[in-house]
Structure formats: C-alpha cells, structure tokens
Amino acid sequence: MNEVIRRDIISEIGRAINILKVKEEKDTAQLRELSNHTIHNASVFQDEDSISVAILVYSLSKIIERMKDIDYNFILRLLEKANDALKKYKFNKFRKTIKRLFSFISSMDNKLKLYIGEVILQAQIKKGSKLYAHGISSARAAEMLGISQWELMSYIGKTRLTDVYVGINAKERLEYARSLFK
C-alpha cells in the first residue's frame, strides 16, 4: 500500500471514529462528507482500500440514518482495530477487519439483510459515479468497485454529471486549429 494512501486512510478512519464517539443527528451528514473525501484518493490512486473505506463509511451513514438502535461501541471497536492494524503496517489484519465491519452491517437484522445489501450496492454505485466525475472511465470505475458498468451508467444517466458541457464555439475552434499550423 502506498504510504500516502495509508496515512490518509488512517486519518479518515480516525475522523470516522471521532464522529461516532458521540451520537448526534449530524453524524450521517458528516460520514457522507468523509466518504466523499476518501473517494477522491481512490480516484487519484485507484486503490481498493480507499474505495472500501469510502463505501464502508457511506454505508454506515445510510444505516445510521435508517436505524436508530445501532451498536456504536462495536463499530467503534472494529474501526479502532482497523486503524491500529494500519498504523502497524498489518495490511491483511486491516482488510479482514474492514470485511468484518461489512459483515456486521450486513447481518444487523435478518429483515434488513436484503436492504443492507442494497445499501452497500447503492454505495458502490454512488462512489463509482464520484470516480467517474473525477475523470476515471466508467469501465475502470465499475471494475474498481466490483459492479457492472451497466449499473454504473444507469445511475450516471439519472444524474446531471453528463449534462456539464464546456464547449468552444466553432469560430474559436477554427482559430485554434489554424494557430497550430502557423
């Protein structure tokens, strides 16, 4: 793992821990903002660990928003364990702990299991659109997140990401082209 990524993930997990230490209404908004910051690293370095943390933090925000009786202490212990492993360069232990957090989120309630799976999938798709917005191709973003390009493009098509058009009029393009041959 790249040292810059490692330090940034340590910082991001530390911020998530600080957010979750005290249960507040603004936790979900802060976790979403944190997830968006983490996805920026994923777009620059295209690493799976940043993507996993971004999806995890976003999933936590969605679950906390929907469920009021979540065991914050268990989540905090696992986040601290993951952070400690990363600080000690124990990457396998870090990744196992992140997987355990995903498993915990998925198994919170039998009735919610399908919903939580859908939340994680939607988080992956949303983070894929953020990668796409940062200039990563849709195929690469889908590959990095383990989702289909069809799912990602379907979501991107419903957003306004592709509506941004920075165009140059024909006269300016022609003048630029002519300047290249002078």
Domain ranges within the chain, ordered by starting residue: 3-180
Confidence band for 83, pLDDT divided at 50, 70 and 90: very high
CA distance 3 to 26: 31
Answer whether residue 137 shows pLDDT above 60. yes
Contact 83, 17 (CB under 8 A): yes
Residue 107 has pLDDT above 70, yes or no: yes
Q: Indicate whether 142 pLDDT > 90.
A: no
Q: What's the pLDDT score for residue 115? A: 56
Mean pLDDT (the chain) is: 80
What's the mean pLDDT in 71-84? Answer: 92
State residue 165's pLDDT score. 47
Q: Is the pLDDT of residue 4 over 80?
A: yes
What is the percent of the chain with per-residue pLDDT over 70, rounded to a whole number? Answer: 83
Query: What is residue 175's predicted lDDT score, i.e. its pLDDT?
Result: 81
Neighbours of 104 (CB within 10 A): 16
Q: How far apart are CA 151 and CA 83, in angstroms?
A: 32
In contact, 93 and 1? CB cutoff 8 Å: no
Q: What would you report as the CA-atom Rg of the chain, rounded to the nearest whole angstrom?
A: 19
Answer whether residue 102 shows pLDDT above 60: yes
The pLDDT of 157-170, averaged and rounded, is 61
Model confidence at 78, pLDDT cuts 50, 70, 90, reads very high
User: Which residues, including other chains, have CB under 8 Å from residue 48's CB and lie 6 or more apart?
Assistant: 144
Of 32-36, 78-82, 118-122, the least confident: 118-122
Q: How far is CA 145 from CA 39, 96, 142, 166, in A?
A: 11, 18, 5, 28
Higher-pLDDT residue of 89, 55: 89
Question: Residue 16 — very low, low, confident or very high, per pLDDT cuts 50/70/90?
Answer: very high
Phi-psi domain of 89 (left: phi exceeds 0; alpha: psi -120 through 50; beta: other): left
Distance of CA 169 to the CA centre of its chain: 37
Q: What pTM did the predictor assign? A: 0.64
